[in-house]
Structure 1
Amino acid sequence: MNPFEDPDGTFYALINDQDQYSLWPRAIAVPAGWTVAHGPADRASCLEHIEASWTDLRPAGAPGT
């Protein structure tokens, strides 16, 4: 099974320096340039955090941000 789609997995909501978010499985090391914004928690909780926090999908510093 794809660890990013595991409904029973434990995840993080990550954020990078461009204020972009990513759902990330706890079992995989957090990549360079990303930090944990929420979690570890279940997949639904992390997705809810991302949805509530990431209101502008453009990278920070993009025109119009």
Structure 2
Amino acid sequence: MEADKYVVVMNSEEQYSLWPADRAVPAGWAVQTEPNNKEDCLDYINRHWTDMTPASLRKG
């Protein structure tokens, strides 16, 4: 069953993911948004994740 609320999480490589709000966030990931519906979280990801290249390769 799909969770009603999600959060956007980001790792140290500045990669984003959608995550169920009722689950513990995995190590290495940090919550970026308040719990919201899936569509709004995906919109956030689309607005903020504009370069798919991992941060370590962009800054290298």
Report the TM-score range of the alignment, normalised by the length of the smaller protein: 0.7 to 0.9
1:10 matched residue in structure 2: 5
4+ runs deviating over 4 angstroms? none
Unaligned runs of 5+ in 1: none
Q: Which has the higher strand share?
A: 1
How far apart, CA to CA, are the structure 2 residues paired with 1:61 and 1:33? 15
2:56 matched residue in structure 1: 61
How far apart, CA to CA, are the structure 1 residues paired with 2:45 and 2:13? 14
Shift of 1:9: 1.3
Calculate percent identity across the aligned residue pairs: 41
Where 1:40 maps in the other structure, the secondary structure is: coil
Normalised by the length of structure 1, the TM-score is 0.81
Q: Which has the higher helix share?
A: 2
Normalised by the length of structure 2, the TM-score is 0.87
Unaligned runs of 5+ in 2: none
Give the alignment's Cα RMSD to 1 decimal.
1.2
